[in-house]
C-alpha cells in the first residue's frame, strides 16, 4: 500500500490524487488539518513538501501554514519514517524500569540506532515522552499499537517478529481477530484497577444519570453540579458548576462540549482506565453537560498515544446512538440533539491546555489561545466551549444519578467526592486507586506498598516533589493538589536525574509561543546539567530561583507557569541535593568553568598536553 515516499512526480500522479482524496474525505476543511495530516502520515510515512503543497491547495491555506501544523506535532514527520515506527516511552519511570537495555535490544535486532530510520524505509526507532503506561513500564508504541512490560528479550522477539512481517496488532494481542474492540483494548493494556471506589470504579448502573438529568431543567442540572462541590479533575481544580454556568449563560447559537482526553501529564493514566472501562459513563456525563449548557455538538480530544482506543470509543458512541442516548431526539425528547466526534491528537503535551486543545481542533498548531476571552465565552470557532476532563464528566453523570449530597458527603470540606490516583514508580502495586479526597500521602503509600519511598512526585512534573517529612500532607485541592499522578521514588533514585528529565520534558513540549517558556526552560535545563556535572557555583541556586520566578510570572499559559516546579519544589524539599554539589570559589574564579573540557578538542587536534593546565607537563 505504500508508495516509495521519496518519489515525487507531477501533479496528477497517484500520490497527489490520494492526498487530495484524503482532504476531500474531510470536506477540504482546513479545521480538520490535524486529521488530514495524520492520514497523510499514516499513508505515506511522512508529510513531504509535495504533500504540503497539495494539502495547502485543497484546503485554501498557504504551504507554510500547513508546514506549521505538520512541524508542530511530534507524530507527524517532515522526513520519511519507517513503515513500522517504534516509539519507546522515555519517561523517568521507564528509565528506572530498564529502558536502556530494552532500547539496546531493539537497536541490535533492527540494526538501526535510536532516532534513525532504516535505509529501506521499513523501521524507525525513536523515543517519546510519557504514553500513559507508567504502571506497566517500560512500554512502547508500534505505530498505533501499545506493548508493555518490555524486557530486552521481549524487545528482541518483537523485533524479529516484525522483521518476519507479523503485524504489530498480532504481536501485541495474539488472536485479536475474535475480540471486540473493548476486549482488544483491555487485552493490549492492563487496567490495573487496584482500589475501586463508590463513585467511578465500583459497580455503575447503565443509565447512570442522564435519565434523571432530563427530568430537571438545565439550570437545575447546573445547580446540582455546583451543590455537589465537584471541581475539575484535570489538575486545575476549577469549580465545574461555575464553568457550566458560564458556558450556559453566554448567548450564542452554537455551543460545544469538549472532553479533554489528552492526559499528557507524565505519570497520569487514570483517564486511560476510564476510557477503557467507563466510556459509556463519560459520554453520559458529556450528554448531561450538553443538556445543561444547550450544546448540540461535542468532541472527545483523544491523545495520539491512545489511538489504540479509537475503535472501542467509536463502538461505544455507535451503541449509544443506536440506544437513543446520543444523536437525534435523545431519550425521545424533541429538540434535544447532541452528537460527539472523536478528534485524535498527534503527540503534543501542551494540547492538554484548554486553549491549545481548541487550537488543535481548529486545525492549527497546538498553541494556547490569548485569555481573555476564556473558552466558555469564546472557544472553538469563536463559540462558547465547555472543556472538561474525562473524570469530571464521569463524576458529573454519577452526581445526577445519585444526587449532589451523596457526592458532597465524601472527601473534605473543599475537595468533595472521590479522586482517581494513578500510582507508579517504586511501589509494589502500581495502578489506579479511587479514593476520597483528604487522605494523607503516607496513607496512600501504605495502600500502594511504597512505604519506603524517599520522594513522591505528586501531580506529575508540573506538581510537587514531596519529601518524607511531608508525607503527612493531605491529597486535596488546598494541600497537595494533583490531576492524579503519584510517582513514587525510592531512596536509591537520584533526585537531580529526575529533575533533569522533567526539565528536558518541558523544553521538548513547550509550544515556543512566548519567550520565558521557550527560552527560559532551556536555560533552567542547562543549569541543572551544570549542577549534575558538579560545575555549579553557590549563587547558581539563587539563579535557579530567580529565573524560575521570571518564567512563572511572565509565561502565557499553565505550561510555563508550572515548568519550573520540578526545580522549585526540590529546592524547597531537598535543599541538600543542590547545596552539596556547589563549589564555592573564595577567589571569585568560577569553579563552574571547566577548562579541561574546553581544551579537550584542541588537545586532540594538537595531540599534546597543555603547558598551563596539565600539571604533569614536563
Partner 1 sequence: MSGTGFSFTIDGVAVAAEPGQTIMEAADAAGLYIPRLCDHEGLRHQGGCRVCTVKAGGRSVSACTQPAAPDLVVENETPHLNKLRRDLVEMLFHEGNHLCPICEASGNCELQAMAYRLDMTAPTRFPYLQPSRTLDASHPDIALDTNRCISCGRCIRASQDVDRKGVFGYVGRGIHRRVAVNADDLASTDASIEDAAIAAGTCPVGCIIRKRHGFATPIGERIFDKGPIGHDIEDKRRE
Partner 2 sequence: MNETRKPRVATVSLAGCFGCHMAILDIDERLVGLMQAVEFDRSPLTDLKTFTRRCDIGIIEGGCCNEENVHVLQDFRRNCDVLIALGQCAIMGGLPAMRNAIMQSDAPLRECLEEAYITGAYIRNTTHQIPNDPALPLLLDRVYPCSEVVEIDYQIPGCAPGGDIIFETLSSILAGRFHGFSRDSFKFD
**CB-nearer residue toward partner 2: 6 or 584:** 584
Q: Which of the listed partners (partner 2, partner 1, none) does 79 bind, with a CB threshold of 5 to 8 Å by partner kind? A: none
Contacts of 102 (CB under 8 A, 6+ apart): 88, 138, 140, 150, 151, 152, 155
Please tell me the distance from the alpha carbon of residue 350 to that of residue 373, in angstroms, as a whole number.
Answer: 19
Minimum distance, C-beta of residue 74 to partner 1, in the bound complex (Å): 8
Nearest-CA neighbor of 388 among 231, 529, 586, 245? 231
561-565 contacts: CB < 8 A, separation 24 or more? 562/461, 562/462, 562/463, 563/461, 563/462, 563/503, 563/506, 563/510, 563/517, 563/521, 563/524, 564/521, 564/524, 565/461, 565/462, 565/463, 565/464
Minimum distance, C-beta of residue 235 to partner 1, in the bound complex (Å): 20
Minimum distance, C-beta of residue 488 to partner 1, in the bound complex (Å): 29
Contacting range for partner 2; rule: CB under 8 A; set: 122-130, 437-445, 522-530, 595-603: 595-603
Q: How far is CA 60 from CA 13, 200, 550, 552, in A?
A: 20, 45, 40, 38
542 forms part of the interface with partner 2 (CB under 8 A): no
E-strand stretches of 114-154: 123-128, 140-142, 145-147
608 forms part of the interface with partner 2 (CB under 8 A): yes
Please tell me the distance from the alpha carbon of residue 393 to that of residue 420, in angstroms, as a whole number.
Answer: 13
Q: Which of the listed partners (partner 2, partner 1, none) does 553 bind, with a CB threshold of 5 to 8 Å by partner kind? A: partner 1
Q: Which of the listed partners (partner 2, partner 1, none) does 417 bind, with a CB threshold of 5 to 8 Å by partner kind? A: none
Residues that bind partner 1 (CB under 8 A): 49, 62-65, 67-68, 71-72, 74, 348, 365, 370, 372, 507-516, 518-520, 522-523, 526, 543, 547, 550, 553-556
Please tell me the distance from the alpha carbon of residue 178 to that of residue 170, in angstroms, as a whole number.
Answer: 12
Minimum distance, C-beta of residue 370 to partner 1, in the bound complex (Å): 5
Minimum distance, C-beta of residue 48 to partner 2, in the bound complex (Å): 23
**Coil, helix or strand for 421?**
strand
Q: For residue 69, which phi and psi values (nearest 5 degrees)?
A: -75, -45
Q: Which of the listed partners (partner 1, partner 2, none) does 512 bind, with a CB threshold of 5 to 8 Å by partner kind? A: partner 1
**CB-nearer residue toward partner 1: 332 or 601:** 601
Q: Which of the listed partners (partner 2, partner 1, none) does 588 bind, with a CB threshold of 5 to 8 Å by partner kind? A: partner 2
Q: Which of the listed partners (partner 1, partner 2, none) does 365 bind, with a CB threshold of 5 to 8 Å by partner kind? A: partner 1
Please tell me the distance from the alpha carbon of residue 14 to that of residue 417, in angstroms, as a whole number.
Answer: 56
**CB-nearer residue toward partner 2: 583 or 608:** 608
C-alpha torsion sign, points 233, 237, 242, 248: negative
Q: How far is CA 546 from CA 58, 343, 463, 526, 582, in A?
A: 49, 40, 19, 15, 17
Q: Which of the listed partners (partner 2, partner 1, none) does 598 bind, with a CB threshold of 5 to 8 Å by partner kind? A: partner 2
**CB-nearer residue toward partner 1: 257 or 524:** 524
Q: Which of the listed partners (partner 2, partner 1, none) does 509 bind, with a CB threshold of 5 to 8 Å by partner kind? A: partner 1
Please tell me the distance from the alpha carbon of residue 258 to that of residue 361, in angstroms, as a whole number.
Answer: 10
**Coil, helix or strand for 298?**
strand
**CB-nearer residue toward partner 1: 185 or 507:** 507
Q: Which of the listed partners (partner 1, partner 2, none) does 1 bind, with a CB threshold of 5 to 8 Å by partner kind? A: none
Minimum distance, C-beta of residue 283 to partner 1, in the bound complex (Å): 32
Residues 565-594 that bind partner 2 (CB under 8 A): 587-590, 592-593
606 forms part of the interface with partner 2 (CB under 8 A): yes
**Coil, helix or strand for 215?**
coil
> What is the binding site for partner 2 (CB under 8 A)?
587-590, 592-593, 595, 597-603, 605-608, 610-613
Amino acid at each position: 500500500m505504500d508508495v516509495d515516499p521519496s518519489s515525487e512526480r507531477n501533479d496528477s500522479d497517484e500520490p497527489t490524487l490520494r492526498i487530495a482524496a484524503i482532504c476531500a474525505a474531510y470536506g477540504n476543511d482546513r479545521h480538520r488539518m490535524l486529521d488530514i495530516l495524520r492520514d497523510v502520515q499514516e499513508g505515506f510515512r511522512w508529510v513531504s513538501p509535495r504533500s504540503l503543497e497539495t494539502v495547502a491547495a485543497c484546503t485554501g491555506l498557504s504551504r507554510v501554514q500547513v508546514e506549521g501544523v505538520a512541524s508542530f506535532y511530534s507524530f507527524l514527520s517532515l522526513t520519511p519514517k519507517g513503515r513500522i515506527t517504534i516509539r519507546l516511552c522515555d519517561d523517568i519511570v521507564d528509565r528506572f524500569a530498564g529502558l536502556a537495555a530494552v532500547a539496546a535490544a531493539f537497536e541490535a535486532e533492527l540494526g538501526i540506532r535510536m532516532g534513525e530510520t532504516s535505509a529501506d524505509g521499513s523501521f524507525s526507532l525513536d523515543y517519546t515522552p510519557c504514553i500513559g503506561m507508567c504502571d506497566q513500564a517500560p512500554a512502547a508504541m508500534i505505530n498505533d499499537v501499545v506493548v508493555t512490560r518490555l524486557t530486552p528479550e521481549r524487545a528482541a522477539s518483537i523485533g524479529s517478529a516484525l522483521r518476519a512481517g507479523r503485524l504489530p496488532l498480532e504481536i501485541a494481542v495474539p488472536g485479536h481477530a475474535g475480540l471486540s474492540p473493548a476486549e482488544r483494548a483491555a487485552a493490549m493494556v492492563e487496567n490495573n484497577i487496584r482500589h475501586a471506589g463508590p463513585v467511578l470504579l465500583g459497580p455503575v448502573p447503565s443509565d447512570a444519570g442522564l435519565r434523571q438529568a432530563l427530568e430537571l431543567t438545565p439550570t437545575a442540572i447546573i445547580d446540582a453540579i455546583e451543590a455537589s462541590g465537584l471541581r475539575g479533575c484535570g489538575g486545575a481544580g476549577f469549580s465545574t458548576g461555575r464553568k457550566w454556568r458560564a458556558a450556559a449563560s453566554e448567548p450564542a447559537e452554537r455551543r460545544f462540549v469538549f472532553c479533554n482526553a489528552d492526559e499528557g501529564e507524565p505519570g497520569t493514566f487514570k483517564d486511560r482506565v476510564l476510557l477503557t472501562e467507563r466510556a459509556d459513563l463519560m459520554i453520559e456525563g458529556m450528554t448531561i453537560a450538553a443538556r445543561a449548557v444547550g450544546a448540540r455538538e461535542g468532541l472527545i480530544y483523544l491523545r495520539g498515544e491512545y489511538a489504540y482506543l479509537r475503535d472501542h470509543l467509536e463502538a461505544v458512541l455507535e451503541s449509544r446512538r443506536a440506544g437513543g442516548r446520543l444523536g437525534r431526539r435523545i431519550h425521545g425528547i424533541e429538540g434535544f440533539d447532541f452528537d460527539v466526534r472523536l478528534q485524535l491528537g498527534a503527540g503534543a503535551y501542551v494540547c492538554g491546555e484548554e486553549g491549545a486543545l481548541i487550537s488543535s481542533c481548529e486545525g492549527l498548531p497546538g498553541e494556547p489561545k490569548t485569555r481573555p476571552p476564556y473558552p466558555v465565552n469564546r472557544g472553538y470557532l469563536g463559540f462558547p466551549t465547555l472543556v472538561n476532563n474525562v473524570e469530571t464528566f464521569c463524576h458529573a453523570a454519577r452526581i445526577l444519578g445519585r444526587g449532589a449530597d451523596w457526592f458532597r458527603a465524601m472527601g473534605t470540606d473543599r475537595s468533595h467526592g472521590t479522586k482517581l490516583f494513578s500510582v507508579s514508580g517504586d511501589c509494589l502495586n502500581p495502578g489506579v486507586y479511587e479514593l476520597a479526597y483528604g487522605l494523607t500521602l503516607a496513607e496512600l503509600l501504605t495502600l500502594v506498598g511504597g512505604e519506603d519511598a524517599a520522594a513522591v512526585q505528586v501531580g506529575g512534573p508540573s506538581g510537587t516533589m514531596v519529601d518524607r517529612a511531608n508525607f503527612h500532607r493531605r491529597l486535596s485541592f488546598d494541600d497537595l493538589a494533583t490531576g492524579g499522578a503519584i510517582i513514587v521514588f525510592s531512596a536509591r533514585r537520584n533526585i537531580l536525574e529526575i529533575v533533569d528529565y522533567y526539565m528536558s520534558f518541558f523544553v521538548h513540549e513547550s509550544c515556543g509561543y512566548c519567550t520565558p517558556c521557550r527560552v527560559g526552560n532551556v536555560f533552567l535545563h542547562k543549569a541543572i546539567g551544570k549542577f549534575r556535572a558538579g560545575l555549579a557555583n553557590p549563587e547558581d541556586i539563587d539563579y535557579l530561583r530567580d529565573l524560575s520566578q521570571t518564567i512563572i510570572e511572565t509565561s502565557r499559559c499553565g505550561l510555563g507557569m508550572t515548568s519550573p516546579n520540578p526545580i522549585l519544589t526540590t529546592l524547597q524539599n531537598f535543599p541538600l541535593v543542590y547545596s552539596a554539589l556547589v563549589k564555592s570559589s573564595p577567589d571569585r574564579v568560577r569553579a563552574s568553568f571547566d577548562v579541561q573540557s574546553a581544551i579537550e578538542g584542541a588537545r586532540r587536534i594538537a595531540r599534546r598536553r597543555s603547558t598551563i593546565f596539565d600539571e604533569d607537563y614536563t
